[in-house]
Amino acid sequence: MAYHFIDVSDYQGRPDWKKVKASGVDGVIMRILNSAGPDAGFEYNYGGCVANGLAKGVYRYSYALTTAQAKEEAEEVLQVLTGRKLETGVFLDLEYNAQRKLGSAKVKQIAGKWMEVIRAGGYECNIYCNLDWYKNVCGGLNAKYWIARYPRQDTGKVQSSLRPNVGEIGWQYSSKGRVPGITGNVDMNLWYGDLYPVSADTIFGGLEYSPVFDASYYAGRYKDLKAVYGNDAAALFYHFIAHGMSEGRQAIDTFNVQIYRARYPDLQKAFGENLPLYYQHYIRFGIAEKRRGL
């Protein structure tokens, strides 16, 4: 199943999000920052999506030419997000020509650091690029890809024969779409990734944590948490995200992060002492790879 997504920035002004939702749009990827600071439309757009039940994600165009700059850009994204929920997570926008001139290996280092910082902050993080960049610059990373590919004569309509077909999570098929509630052109996308319910209480940053978290188990295992939070599932989940993963706490009977870490040297090399990344790896990839958490 493909969902209908658009992506927006302050260039789209102030959309009427009720009309956008009524037109059949399922989700929105919003620009969160530009080179000068927060996108002028972000707060308005985020609020409109929340009010109208639209799935949410954010993107940032990267100008980073070093891993230190990548770290700074990603940290700025986390500062603006301040823990807000995103059903599709954060996307690193790779299309800056000065980055490409650095070569594929260097771009991948920059992207790796960028994603590492966002994921350590508790959010799903993946990559937006065009098909050429995917094939020649940044493909093959430990990430999902949202890929742009338009026809020569872009009419705003889907041309199915142009779908990238490289395992993409989303396809940006036009930059000249029209949607009720938005004045002018808007980017159009088909989204192939699963969308979790907006109201789900084990989603944070676009990632579903139920494979590593069960509120009842968490409260029962740790008396200090039971004493403070009782059986408040939302409060227990917040503790797990904010503190429990970093402390290496076990929150379900089928996954122990210390065992997972000790069992796989490749993950130790990739993540070191950053325990939240092990939980997130298990959810995103470990389960499908049949890795064991106990």
Question: Domain limits of the chain?
Answer: 3-191, 209-286
User: Looking at domain 3-191, which CATH architecture does it have?
Assistant: Alpha-Beta Barrel (3.20)
Q: Judge whether 158 and 139 are in contact, CB under 8 Å.
A: no
- pTM for the whole structure: 0.73
Q: What is the pLDDT of residues 49-77, one digit of tens each?
A: 988 889 999 999 999 999 999 999 999 99
Q: Judge whether 276 and 245 are in contact, CB under 8 Å.
A: yes
Predicted local confidence at residue 198, as pLDDT: 43
Predicted local confidence at residue 51, as pLDDT: 87
Query: Higher model confidence: residue 149 or residue 205?
Result: 149
Q: Which of 37, 45, 39, 40 is nearest to 17 (CA)?
A: 45
Quick check: 200 pLDDT over 80?
no
Provide the mean pLDDT of the chain.
93
Name the percent of the chain lying above pLDDT 70: 97
Tracing tokens 């088909």 back to the chain, one arrives at 190
Tell me the mean pLDDT in the region 161-166: 95
CA-to-CA distance for 138 and 103, rounded, in angstroms? 10
